[in-house]
Amino acid sequence: MNWPLWAVALAAAPVVLLAVLVLRSQPVTWVAWLAAGFAGVLGLAVFGLDLLEVGVAVTRGVWTGTWILLIVLPALLLFEVLDRSGALEHLAVAADQLAPTEGRRLLLLAFVLPSFLQGAAGFGAPIAMSAPLLVRRGMAPVAAVAACLVGYQWSVTFGSMGSSYFMAEATARLAEPAARSFALRAGVLLAISAVLSGLLVLSRGRRSRGDRWRAVVIGAVMGAVLIGVVVVQPALGSTTAGLAGLVACWFLLPMRGTPRPGGSDLLVAASPYAVLTVAAVVGFAVPPVRALLDRVPEMAPVLPGVDAAFGFSLAEAAVTPAFRPLLHPLPYLLLALLAAVVVYRRRGWWPPGCGRDAVVSWAGRSRKVVVTIVGLTVLAAVLTEAGMVAALAEAAAAGLGSAFVVVSAPLGALGTVLTGSTTASNALFSSLQAEVAVALGLLPAVLLSGQTAGGNIGNALSPGVSAVGTAAAGASGREGEVLRSNLGAAAVLMLAVLLGLGVQVWLLA
């Protein structure tokens, strides 16, 4: 398509509006809807949509937002259960014993734990379950959320049972050899990012002697396990890497001669995490069980296509992501919730009225999250349906030529910032990345690895993911502060990814 320069500039306007207002500390709750409304007006006035097509875009956005909220809202309720029962305090005490200094506590709670949790349930849920533990130990809520966002971002592509990876593979239509190459190259980039993430998280607090080498070793262990696993089974990459990180923490973080945490209280407090992880691994990765769950029909209504201006069109298609009742994180989170209530009640940690208080507090936290997430997904859908995302991406590809390699990862990050999801970013841009790679004489796996690694970094700057964390940590409306504090770390991570891409291109030359 031939996009005029003025149209490309207008396509960028809603994104610029969102970024400027959020970075000026305006609450993303209403800014997302303002940007979505502005995008809708541009879609009608400039990009050739009619009212029905705008309605289709809104419907797609609401569907995507609801799909994400079915993960985020149970995760927030699980946090309330942990908090009201006292289990959160038991976990915080155990973290103090395992990681007795501020720097080591950051490595455990802002780096390894959320990365491990990302293996089973993404879309901000790991931040909601990890950041409050740091707040309980005196860290400012904004700082806690920001640290967790930087610490966990490397694990997103192969988290949520590999949903972001599989989205990129399917969108780019990779054959099996190319898919294995993509998994390996993405794994290597993310392993490098894991090591850097640990060091960047460590810089957020007071360090003690030996903390830096511990961060490097823990990150290297997780990165090496990630590479080894994803070439065999991408769905288990972040789960196994995160578990390896927890094991490394068990041996490396305690002070010499001090006992490690133990006892039945710790096992009881951590039981929901164990149930969530085991259930998700069995459901997603054990072939006979997966085959049985695959038989449950998915829900994905088909919506009309779009014929917009400048020759842009989208065919009639089912909404994405499809809702697969038993292959969505929702049932596994609900199972973890049920386990928490049953186990804590038997332990005597669930006094009368505790459930009501938890639900009331959860409802208060959830309102802003619902408005924010749906606003952002509606914005992303309108931008996509009107062709504004395609205009930005294709203008970059046409204008840069071989230098497109430099913007492939930032493009992935942009997609995640807009949608709050590396999965959605990969859905938007993976096909374009693969096509540009072929035109440049590169393997599609090269630019796709940059796309998804950049998409991961975008999680550290995503208003939607940040809003989930601030809701759990008691800092709703302060997303702009979180994102500003992460700009430097995101730049360092992006530079590392770009250097990794440059090495790949040089080796293939």
pLDDT, tens digit (0-9, with 9 covering 90-100), for 400-421? 878 888 989 998 998 888 777 7
Closest by alpha carbon to 125, among 336, 324, 417, 282? 336
If 0-12 CB within 10 Å is exposed, 13-18 middle and 19+ buried, where does residue 212 land?
Answer: middle
In the prediction, which pLDDT does 476 show?
A: 82
> How far is residue 501 from each of residues 52, 285, 329, 448, measured CA to CA in Å?
42, 30, 32, 10
pLDDT number for residue 322: 79
Return the residue matching tokens 């094991």.
247
Distance CA 306, CA 315 (A): 7
- The mean pLDDT of 458-475, rounded to a whole number, is 88
Lowest mean pLDDT among 59-68, 193-202, 338-347: 59-68
Structure tokens at 89: 């305090």
Weakest mean pLDDT among 24-33, 78-87, 167-176, 248-257: 167-176
Tokens of 132: 């409050």
Interhelix angle 5-23/479-508, nearest 10 degrees: 130
Q: Provide the pLDDT for residue 509.
A: 55
Q: Is the CB of residue 286 less than 8 Å from the CB of residue 327?
A: no
3-state secondary structure 355-372: HHHHHHHHHHHHHHHHHH
pLDDT at position 111 is 95
pLDDT band per the 50, 70, 90 thresholds, residue 379:
confident
Tokens standing for 244? 């390896």
β-strand partners of 323: 299
- Better pLDDT: 20 or 291: 291
466-475 burial string, b = 16+ CB within 10 Å, else e? bbbbbbbbeb
Q: Is the pLDDT of residue 82 over 90?
A: no
Would you place residue 486 in the very low, low, confident or very high pLDDT band (cuts 50, 70, 90)?
very high
**Whole-number Å distance between alpha carbons of 27 and 368:** 10
Q: What is the CA radius of gyration of the chain?
A: 22
More confident residue, 34 or 273: 34
Cα distance between residue 296 and residue 317, in whole Å: 21
Structural domain range at position 341? 5-508
pLDDT value at residue 39: 94
Answer yes or no: are the C-beta atoms of 122 and 75 closer than 8 Å.
no
- Is the pLDDT at 451 greater than 90, yes or no? yes
Hey, which of 219-223, 230-234, 390-394 has the most confident mean pLDDT?
A: 219-223
Residue 424, C-beta contacts closer than 8 angstroms, at least 6 positions apart: 64, 380, 415, 416
User: Which of the 8 DSSP states describes residue 425?
Assistant: H
- Structure confidence at residue 437 (pLDDT): 84
Q: What is the pLDDT of residue 170?
A: 66
pLDDT band at 188 (very low <50, low <70, confident <90, very high): very high
Higher pLDDT, 230 or 82: 230
Q: What is the pLDDT of residues 207-216, one digit of tens each?
A: 888 899 999 9
Sign of torsion over alpha carbons 199, 255, 221, 169: negative
Highest mean pLDDT among 84-88, 291-295, 377-381, 391-395: 291-295
Closest CA to 280 of 290, 270, 288: 290
Q: How many domains does the chain have?
A: 1
If you average pLDDT over residues 341-359, what whole number do you get? 89
| 485 has pLDDT over 80 | yes
> Looking at residues 185-210, what average pLDDT do you find?
93
User: How many Å apart are CA 488 and CA 185, to the nearest integer?
Assistant: 25
Q: Summarize the confidence of residues 262-285 as an average pLDDT.
A: 80
User: So what's the pLDDT on residue 413?
Assistant: 93
Q: Please tell me the pTM assigned to this model.
A: 0.77
Q: Tell me how far CA of residue 333 lies from CA of 77, 113, 140, 143, 278, in angstroms.
A: 10, 17, 27, 26, 11
